[in-house]
């Protein structure tokens, strides 16, 4: 992404570090590896230190995984651009089984995601779902060491690392929708900096529209790390289609909504897409109530 930002600023690839120097900030979410995020502050732990640096003027923009972005940003900051999305699906990795359904009864499944836990238990209530934190390499090493029988990771992360060949199979995003915005990157800036030409050059309209629908559902459901929800939107030939689901944390209950919207000729497709997400999310919230919230 550094090279793409530099190119959007008119620089050659070899000048990327000079034009858009990369500053690595290790966040609390990266450092805390022994607990679920919901126990220590939620998604904001992946963005807090970075956003503080931006508000203080130490950096000019931040690149985040969209699925880690809270529904509400700090005052003065905005998601200024969303580049073209990588594959949004989840990937299934194991030492033997090809799919989740092929795992032996009582198999140990590793994940840090409450959504993946709930979706997996809905399909296979016999599984022993265990906490698995750490970067991709750490998680894959624990699988190979036999600490888990299978793990589930975002396919986009595996692809960016060239490790997608390790996946045994890919999970159908219609059957088990991924996290809202999964596979997409968010370019966050100060509010005063949005709209600059280099940001416009990075923006992908299809991805921006589909992510707007998914995050609309997330906002309506007041999703946090305590609420297992998935959302998957597609946009083809002006036709937007959105699936949203919410589950009880134990996977026993599942609530789903899906709807389509013709965006042909719509003045602001992003607003219309977000409104569809808000509508479906509100319907699920009204139906499910507290059943989809993990008790504190």
Find, among 215, 207, 218, 208, the residue nearest to 86 by Cα.
207
Do 201 and 277 sit in the same domain of this protein? yes
* Distance separating alpha carbons of residues 156 and 142, to the nearest angstrom: 20
Determine the pLDDT at residue 71: 85
* Distance separating alpha carbons of residues 159 and 169, to the nearest angstrom: 14
CATH code: domain of residue 27:
3.30.160.40
Cβ atoms of 123 and 130 within 8 Å: the answer is: no
The yes-or-no verdict on residue 32 having pLDDT over 60 is: no
Last residue of a domain, one of 107, 138, 170: 170
Q: Is 267 exposed, middle or buried (0-12, 13-18, 19+ CB in 10 A)?
A: exposed
- Owning domain of residue 163: 90-170
Mean residue pLDDT across the chain: 91
CA-to-CA dists, residue 294 to 132, 226, 246, 247, angstroms: 18, 5, 12, 10
Last residue of a domain, one of 118, 149, 170: 170
Q: Comparing 64-68, 151-155, 171-175, 231-235, which segment has the lowest mean pLDDT?
A: 64-68
Q: List phi, psi (to 5°) of 37.
A: -60, -30
Which residues are 151's β-sheet partners?
93, 110
Q: List phi, psi (to 5°) of 231.
A: -150, 135
The yes-or-no verdict on residue 115 having pLDDT over 60 is: yes
Q: List phi, psi (to 5°) of 289.
A: 60, -135
Last residue of a domain, one of 120, 143, 170: 170
Do 77 and 187 sit in the same domain of this protein? yes
Do 59 and 193 sit in the same domain of this protein? yes
Q: List phi, psi (to 5°) of 31.
A: -80, -35
Cβ atoms of 92 and 100 within 8 Å: the answer is: yes
Q: Half-sphere exposure of residue 48, counting CA atoms within 13 Å on the CB side?
A: 11
Do 199 and 268 sit in the same domain of this protein? yes
How many independent structural domains does the chain possess? 2
Sheet hosting strand 185-190, strand order edge to edge: 61-65, 185-190, 77-81
Do 126 and 239 sit in the same domain of this protein? no
CA-to-CA dists, residue 231 to 71, 173, 184, 199, 278, angstroms: 14, 9, 13, 26, 12
* Distance separating alpha carbons of residues 50 and 292, to the nearest angstrom: 30
* Distance separating alpha carbons of residues 161 and 31, to the nearest angstrom: 20
Determine the pLDDT at residue 224: 58
Q: What is the pLDDT of residues 205-239, one digit of tens each?
A: 999 999 999 999 999 997 556 899 999 999 999 99
Q: Provide the pLDDT confidence category of residue 146 given band limits of 50, 70 and 90.
A: very high
Cβ atoms of 211 and 85 within 8 Å: the answer is: yes
Do 209 and 70 sit in the same domain of this protein? yes
Q: What would the two tokens of residue 6 be?
A: 């530099």
Active site residues: 68
Q: Where is 256: in which H helix or E strand?
A: strand 254-262
CATH code: domain of residue 137:
3.40.190.10
Determine the pLDDT at residue 226: 82
The pTM assigned to this predicted structure is 0.90
For the packed helices 205-220 and 269-288, what is the interaxial angle rounded to 10 degrees? 30
Which of 2-11, 65-74, 210-219 reaches the highest mean pLDDT?
210-219
Q: Provide the pLDDT confidence category of residue 29 given band limits of 50, 70 and 90.
A: low
- E strands within 3-135? 61-65, 77-81, 90-94, 108-111, 128-131
């Amino acid at each position: 992404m550094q090279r793409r930002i530099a190119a959007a600023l008119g620089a050659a690839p070899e000048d990327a570090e000079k034009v858009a120097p990369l500053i690595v900030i290790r966040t609390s979410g990266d450092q805390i590896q022994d607990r679920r995020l919901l126990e220590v502050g939620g998604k904001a732990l992946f963005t807090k230190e970075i956003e503080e640096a931006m508000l203080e003027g130490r950096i000019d923009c931040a690149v985040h995984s969209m699925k880690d972005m809270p529904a509400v940003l700090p005052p003065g900051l905005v998601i200024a651009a969303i580049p073209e999305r990588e594959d949004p699906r989840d990937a299934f990795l194991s030492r033997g089984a090809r799919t989740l359904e092929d795992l032996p009864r009582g198999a140990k499944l590793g994940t840090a995601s409450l959504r993946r836990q709930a979706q997996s238990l809905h399909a296979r209530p016999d599984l022993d779902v265990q906490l698995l934190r750490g970067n991709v390499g750490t998680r894959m090493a624990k699988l190979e060491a036999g600490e888990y029988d299978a793990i589930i990771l975002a396919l986009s992360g595996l692809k960016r690392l060239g490790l997608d060949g390790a996946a045994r199979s890919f999970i159908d995003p219609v059957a088990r929708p991924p996290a809202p915005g999964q596979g997409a990157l968010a370019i966050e800036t100060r509010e005063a900096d949005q709209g600059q030409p280099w940001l416009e050059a990075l923006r992908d309209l299809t991805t921006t529209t589909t992510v707007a629908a998914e995050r609309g559902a997330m906002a309506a459901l007041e999703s946090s790390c305590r609420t297992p929800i998935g959302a998957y939107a597609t946009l083809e030939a002006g036709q937007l289609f959105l699936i949203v689901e919410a589950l009880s944390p134990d996977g026993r209950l599942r609530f789903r909504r899906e709807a389509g919207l013709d965006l042909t000729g719509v003045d602001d497709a992003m607003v219309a897409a977000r409104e569809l997400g808000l509508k479906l999310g509100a319907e699920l919230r009204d139906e499910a109530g507290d059943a989809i919230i993990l008790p504190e």
